Amino acid sequence: MSSQLSVLHDGAVAIVTINDPPYNRMSLAFIDELEDIVNDIANNPDIRSWVLTAAGDDNFSVGMNLKQLPEGLARKGGADALFAQRHRLIEAIEQMGKPSVVTLFGYCLGGGLEIPLGCHFRLAAESGAQIGLPEMDLGSVPAWGGSARLTRCVGRDHALDLILRAKKISGPEAYRIGLVHEVWALSELKGRAIALAQELALQPAGAVRSMLNVIVGSEERTFAELLAAESQAVRDNMDTPDSREGMLAFLEKRSPVFNQST
């Protein structure tokens, strides 16, 4: 693996770090590499949650390395294929069935927000973050699914305000509009993200996967379809080792210990 990304394992948590400070640009090699890492995490039964963060304290990512755009178009065979890979990567993160936590600090722009929008939990720095999709400043538009996911996340009005005005907002403002789940001091941010991933890794993996399958993409399904999906999740998690452990722990008035059979 190149130095573009590194992966550390902390128990059942994988910590993926972008290693190109201070800007942590998302190069062509970065996308190829992250796609492989996401696939490895998805297929590794020992990993139950993961964190995406970046080296240094300056920026999460300024997004795509625009100087490589002509090379990328030539290498992938055109814009459709180039951006299809980005869509495929973010969908893989979103639909993995294992919760992902991302840290937003410094510049989180373009792809540096579009990939986090595919993550399940977003934590931001309380100061210094500049979060947005400022493609309008380049006479362009988001190309990695950002407009669709941002609208789904914060609603039409906030999405229009951010995208059409090329706004860059702070961590507290992102929290106010529902773009991030938590805000922390920069010195605590990465540690809190890892702690959250560890908390999620202790939950029953099968039940977590079932709920991600029900909730992620729920906007595209009818209420009846969601009820049917939840009913299937109930059946899938009935009389499993984790459900039996949960009930026994409840009766014994102790904390459950899940995932013992994995």
Q: Pick from 189, 188, 175, 145: which is nearest to 163 by CA?
A: 145
Q: Under a CB-based contact definition with an 8 Å cutoff, are residues 60 and 107 in contact?
A: yes
- Alpha helix segments (H runs only) across the chain: 28-43, 69-76, 79-94, 111-118, 146-154, 156-164, 171-176, 186-202, 205-215, 223-236, 241-252
Q: What is the pLDDT of residue 194?
A: 98
Q: CA 43, 47, 48: angle at the middle one, nearest 5?
A: 105
pLDDT tens per residue across span 83-126: 999 999 999 999 999 999 999 999 999 999 999 999 999 999 99
Distance separating alpha carbons of residues 74 and 214, to the nearest angstrom? 39
Task: State the pLDDT confidence band at 2, using cuts at 50, 70 and 90.
Answer: low
Q: What mean pLDDT comes out for the span 129-147? A: 96
Q: Pick from 111, 52, 116: which is nearest to 82 by CA?
A: 111
Q: Determine the residue type at 116.
A: P
Q: In this structure, is the dihedral angle defined by the CA atoms of residues 133, 86, 88 and 80, taken in order, positive or negative? A: positive
pTM: 0.94
Beta bridge partners of 17: 6, 53
